[in-house]
Structure 1
Amino acid sequence: MLNFPFARRTRISLLLLALVASVAACNKPADPASEAAAPAADNAAATSVAYVSTQDGGVDVIDLATMQVTKQLDVKAEGPRGLGVTDDGKKLIVATKENESISVIDTATGEVVQQINVGKNPEFVRVSGNYAYVSSEPSAKGGPPPKPGAKPEEEDDDDDDEKIPAKIAVVDLTKGEKIREITGGPETEGVEFSADGKQLVITNEADNTVTVHDIATGELLKTISTHEYGDRPRGIKVSPDGSTYLATLEFGNKFMVMDKDFNVVRTVDTAATPYGIAYDAKGDRIFVATNKAKLLQVFDAKTFEKIKDVPTGNRCWHFSFTPDNKNILLACGKSDAVFVIDADKLEVTKQVEVKNMPWGVVTFPKAMGSLENAK
């Protein structure tokens, strides 16, 4: 054994002790307090969420990892319906009926940062880049469809009101203001972008048309009458490959299939009063929410044969896939619930309580649904 001088042995011992302490520190579990101090924005970015508008309340936020409502956002107005999220997830845009505006919400804080007037009775919201497109229904009368064989109710004598054209408000989200309007038909409802992003496709309930507009100029490019197929067009959706457009005909109990040039190629029968419609992310299946029938119907996107009827709740209008495409979230207004449906088994697996008449649902990251398309 070597006999080092005492001072030298002491220095080596101290160095060894320091090395051992350093290794132990590296292997020590992270301090929970330090983890809690991580920026909230980072935690939020890592969490997939769904935003659910409620007509008699605000917006409920569902954590998609737990399928639980984690917070409720006050939109600072009454009658929230259509909603959309920006591509970066930082802003949520909500149409609020009673004050004729949209509320712009900071998703990190949950606070309304701006309210922008868009016109009477705003409904659908679609967001593309830094712009929001918001449909309105200035002459909306609503009401249930007539029973088969029944005489339609007499219309009001106010023909001028009935002919009020609807507008699609174009809102610059960077400037925080409405910059122009695109004129639609009376009671403009659903809004969709063409596959190339250059055109806006909208459904017009009151005159039973689907109209196609140039987004840059607002010019009307084409009008498709739905009356011979069914009345009151509502939902509108483009296929993931851009080759097909679908429009639900609420009073026809059908959806209409159009090619890429907006020529009607066929209709497909549905259960009573179809509304929200969407493809899955691959474009293999079509999903339709049928309000009166209380079903989410699933069709083969190539053959248009029905695959399955999924029983749901009361007044289920709009739905979205989750970002991982494993589940479908269906907002059922008069059931005060969001139904969670397994996208493969096509079975309801859970109901998430969402009170105050849930209307629409979108997610972030964005996913396919009746109000949104996946990015």
Structure 2
Amino acid sequence: MIRLLRSLALVLAAWCAAQGAAAQNRPIFVLNSLDANVSIIDPANWSEVRRLPTGKEPHHLYLTPDEKSLIVANSLGDSLTFIDPKTAEVQRVVRGILDPYQLRFSPDMKWFVTAGNRLNHVDVYRWDGSNLQLAGRVATSRTPSHIWIDSRSTTAYVSMQDSDELVAVDLASQQVRWRVKTGPMPADVYGTPDDRTLIVGLTGGDGIEVFDVSGAQPRSVRRIKTGAGAHAFRAAGDKRHVYISNRVANTISKIDLNTLDVVASYPAPGGPDCIEVLEGGKMLMVTSRWARKLTVIDTETRKVVRQVNVGKSPHGVWTLDHAPR
């Protein structure tokens, strides 16, 4: 009996180890916007194993609420490609989604919002867990870029890249609630957990702009220097810090959300764009837009530890093995 128990324990340990190894080797996805495909990267050896065709100009990607599908937004293809985030196989393609440049689910998972970058609109869809139904199309200013949705799932905040504005859209009515001027070329938008403050990356400037959105009308209260071409945010995973890529400065800045101060900086060559933080928070991955590479940065040593060749104009990056959002 003792031998049998020991054998069972060894089998169980081996199975658990195998399961853990499989979880650690789930693919990394990098969108190659000008190649109309996705690089599938094996994190075990940091090599590109294949490329998956998508629609024209995929720019951003987002996970479905059940984590069973990774959605790629094909802006010039007017479509969404659903990919299995574990196997990197295409599950389905949803067509007739006009100009989905950026995309986001509301926290309550009832709404799905896309920013029409070239068509100057924001589309609000109802999501039933598997299907999308257009609830309303909202005409906006020029070049809607990035989206943030508040924790109550009531408001989508969208930056207007070529109008230098931030627009608030009421999700239930699909109406513009307010708009406010920003600094040059606003890009990504990130909200604090209390929904009182938004920070906006100014790609045409050298930092972020802070807005108080706790009242009926927004107020610009501060600008913080991070680096030229401040662009895309990603949560650090500790519920306190957020990273932002500075595309022109070739750096990534770490911001303390409690004080809104820059507390660290990291080198990120090649025009850093979208960021992913690996589970545990010790590694950053960033797409080097002008260098056709995925760059990996050690957050403890603050050094680039590897670069992986990918396709033309790499933009979004994602993996299931990410730090908490």
TM over 0.5: yes
Task: Look up the equivalent residue of 2:141 and give its one-letter code.
Answer: G
Partner of residue 197 from structure 1, selected from 147, 153, 158: 153
Q: CA contact under 8 A between 2:59 and 2:75: conserved in structure 1? A: yes
Match among 160, 164, 176 for residue 131 of structure 2: 176
Quick one: structure 1 residues 221 and 44, their matched pair in 2 at CA, closer, same or farther if it must change by over 3 Å? farther
Task: Give TM-score, length-normalised by structure 1.
Answer: 0.73
The aligned amino acid for 1:134 is T
- Superposed CA RMSD in Å reads 3.1
1:166 corresponds to 2:137: no
Aligned partner of 1:359 among 312, 315, 321: 315
Q: Post-superposition shift, 1:364?
A: 1.6
Cα distance change on mapping 1:26 and 1:211 into 2, 3 Å: same
Pairwise CA distance, 1:367: 3.8
How far apart in 1 are the matches of 2:96 and 2:111? 14
Q: Distance in 2 between matches of 1:92 and 1:303?
A: 34
Offset, 1:243: 3.7
Shift of the 366–196 alpha-carbon distance from structure 1 to 2, 3 Å rule, reads farther
Give runs of ≥4 in structure 1 deviating > 6 Å.
none
Aligned pairs, number: 314
Amino acid at match of 1:113: R
Q: Percent identity?
A: 18
Alignment CA distance shift 1:173-1:84 (3 Å): farther
1:276 to 2:229 alignment: no
Q: 1:107 aligns with which of 81, 85, 90?
A: 85
Residue 327 (structure 1) aligned to one of 283, 295, 300:
283
Distance 1:355 1:98 in 2: 17
Measured in 2, the distance between the counterparts of 1:99 and 1:173 equals 24
5 Å-filtered alignment, 1:211-230, equals: 211-226=167-182, 230=183
Question: What does residue 138 of structure 1 align with?
Answer: 118
Task: Report the Cα offset of residue 44 of structure 1.
Answer: 5.9
Indicate the residue corresponding to 1:234 in structure 2. Answer: 187
CA distance 1:47–1:292, shift in 2 (3 Å): same
2:98 maps to which of 113, 116, 119: 119
Distance change >3 Å, CA 99–CA 57, structure 1 → 2:
closer
CA contact (8 A) 2:111 2:124 kept: no
Give deviations 1:67-124, integer Å, cap 9, x for gaps.
624644524423211100123321010011332111122335512412232113x211
Q: Does the residue aligned with 1:210 lie in a helix, a strand or coil?
A: strand
Structure number with larger C-alpha Rg: 1
2:297 aligns with one of 337, 341, 344:
341
The superposition leaves residues 2-35 of structure 1 with CA deviations (integer Å, 9 ceiling, x where unpaired) of xxxxxxxxxxxxxxxxxxxx6545544549xx96
Kindly indicate which of the two structures has a greater share of residues assigned to strand: 2
| 1:135 aligned partner, one-letter code | A
Q: Deviations over 1:196-238 (max 9, x none)?
A: 2221111011221101111122121121111xxx221111011
Q: Structure 1 unaligned runs (5+)?
A: 1-21, 140-164, 369-373
2:243 equivalent among 287, 305, 315: 287
Query: What amino acid maps onto 1:275 in structure 2?
Result: H
SS of the counterpart of 1:74?
strand
Task: Please give the secondary structure, in 1, of the residue aligned with 2:238.
Answer: coil
Does residue 59 of structure 1 match 2:21? no
1:273 offset after TM fit, Å? 1.5
Q: Which runs of 5+ in 2 are unaligned?
A: none
Distance 1:196 1:67, change over 3 A: farther
Offset of residue 173 of structure 1: 6.2
What's the CA shift for 1:275? 0.8
Q: Greater shift after overlay, 192-201 or 291-300?
A: 291-300
